[in-house]
Amino acid sequence: MDLRYSEADQVFRHALRTWLAEAVPARGKSPSIHDWEARRAYDTGWQRKLFDAGYAGINWPKEFGGRGASLMEELIYYEEMSRANAPGVGMNFVGVRHGGPTLIAEGTDQQKADHLPRILRGEEVWCQGFSEPNAGSDLAALRTSAVRDGDHYVVNGQKIWTSFGHVADFCELLVRTDSNSKHGGISWLVMPMDLDGIEIRPLPTLHGESDFSEMFLENVRIPIENRVGEENDGWRVTNVTLRFERGTAWAADIVHLQQTLVSLCELARATTRDEETAWNDRALRREIGHLSAEVESVWAMVKLQVSELAKTGVPGLGGSVIKLAYTELNQRVFELGTRLLGRAALSRDDVDGMPSLGMVDRYLQTLSLTIAAGSSQIQRNIISERMLGMPKEPRAN
């Protein structure tokens, strides 16, 4: 294991850091979470800046306009983005990290030409239509039906947790094309969001924003040529994006968490308790030290996974391990932040000019982490069944 960076890596880092030093301050403050028009402009504007600078689609192959970065460069990319406090991927997430990579792997030439350049340039926003009210952890139980009618599918059903549904241009939609086979009866469609029969109802979360929505589909006619992969092969198509998952998905967040702990030290120094600063509270300091060790070791896991992958070319199941460890750790860090604030945490905004570092807001956001993208419980099932060989949970088919 060698954790040092090669000369080429250092050059890549330096160029990126130099660019970010200018580009990030120029982006200005992010708009209010309720101003959807401004948010779309902000997120897609940043995507366009990344594209112009040659940093869009960091892990996309070069032939599709991506950077084609090495694993180490990708890790450096996330590290530097986080250090520079650069805008996140925001509502470009589904297109850049999920829909686009799926088209690269499985799409027709026409589908690739229609969407990939526009996604990279921030001209197309995608949303995800996977989960349903009765198909969450058991995603393959989805029931939204697609019935052929000439050269169209007629789609009926209901989706939930559709992020950015009301501002998206396209939706990656999973539908049931065969009700006789659970996993073998699913197809993957590209649905333009301006078709008739689509109704979006925002679903405000406990955090107060409405990034999520419910999506109701009534006789929506989607051209058959919008199908990606074969009919009834959608479950496999859904899993191909895993090829793009190189164990780096959480890299930026983990770096950010380490920075949050440094901020917690600063907050503790600025907080007075019993006529002393909270930093003089050894129990608190020890807890910060303990959490820091955990963050450091999860970061080491990411680097170990990346160095293994670079050597063997085979991605492990380490994704579940890192996801489980990172998300639960993240919640504990922000919980400590809210405890440190004490009664100041009763307000989500700063009180009397005392900076709360958005601790309360961010704590609320962390609550989704152990539920989304495979809950902690599903991750534990995956780890014990696929990595330790425990008997499988009962399932249909």
Partner 1 sequence: MPFEAVVEQAVKPFDGALWRDLAELGVLSLRTRENDGGLGLGMAEAVLVFAELGRRLLPGPLIWSALIAGLLPEVGKGGLVVTGLDQTRPASGPLMIEHWEGSNTLIVLDVEGVRRIETDALQARAVETPLDPLTPVHQIHALPPGERLADSATCQRLWSEGALLTAAQQLGIAVATLEYATSYALEREQFDRPIGSFQAIKHMLADMLVRKEQAMAAVYAAAATMDGRGVDDPQRMISTAKLIAGEAAHKNARGCLQIYGGMGYVWEMPPHFYLKRAFVLENGFGTMDEHADRIADRLGASATR
Catalytic positions, written as ranges: 245
261 binds partner 1 (CB under 8 A): yes
Residue from 108, 158, 263, 365 binding partner 1 (CB under 8 A):
263
> DSSP 3-state assignment of 251?
helix
For partner 1, give the closer residue by CB, 113 or 293: 293
Residue 345 exposed, middle or buried by CB count within 10 Å (0-12, 13-18, 19+): middle
395 binds partner 1 (CB under 8 A): no
Among 146-154, 156-164, 299-307, 344-352, which window interacts with partner 1 (CB under 8 A)? 299-307
Helices 7-27, 36-53: axis angle to 10 degrees equals 150
For partner 1, give the closer residue by CB, 282 or 343: 282
Output the six-digit token pair for 158.
């209901």
Residue 132 exposed, middle or buried by CB count within 10 Å (0-12, 13-18, 19+): buried
Strands 170-176 and 152-159: unpaired
For partner 1, give the closer residue by CB, 186 or 268: 268
Residue from 165, 318, 319, 337 binding partner 1 (CB under 8 A):
318
Query: 33-40 — which CB contacts under 8 Å span 24+ positions?
Result: 33/208, 33/209, 33/211, 34/209, 34/210, 36/166, 36/167, 39/90, 39/91, 39/167, 40/91, 40/125, 40/167
For partner 1, give the closer residue by CB, 167 or 301: 301
Please give the backbone phi and psi of residue 179, each rounded to the nearest 5 degrees, phi first. Answer: -90, 0
Least distance to partner 1 from the beta carbon of 292, Å?
5
Residue from 116, 167, 252, 324 binding partner 1 (CB under 8 A):
324
Least distance to partner 1 from the beta carbon of 383, Å?
4
276 binds partner 1 (CB under 8 A): no
Residue from 262, 310, 346, 354 binding partner 1 (CB under 8 A):
262
Residue from 52, 218, 230, 385 binding partner 1 (CB under 8 A):
385
Percent of the chain as helix, strand, coil, to the nearest 5: 50, 15, 35
Label residue 370 left, alpha or beta by phi (over 0 means left) and psi (-120 to 50 means alpha): alpha
Looking at residue 104, its amino acid is: I
Least distance to partner 1 from the beta carbon of 353, Å?
20
210 binds partner 1 (CB under 8 A): no
265 binds partner 1 (CB under 8 A): yes
Helices 318-341, 359-366: axis angle to 10 degrees equals 150
149 binds partner 1 (CB under 8 A): no
Residue from 274, 389, 396, 397 binding partner 1 (CB under 8 A):
389
For partner 1, give the closer residue by CB, 32 or 259: 259
1 binds partner 1 (CB under 8 A): yes
Note the residues at the interface with partner 1 (CB under 8 A): 1-5, 261-263, 265-266, 269, 279, 282, 285-290, 292-294, 296-298, 300-301, 303-304, 318, 321, 324-325, 377, 379-381, 383-385, 387-391, 393
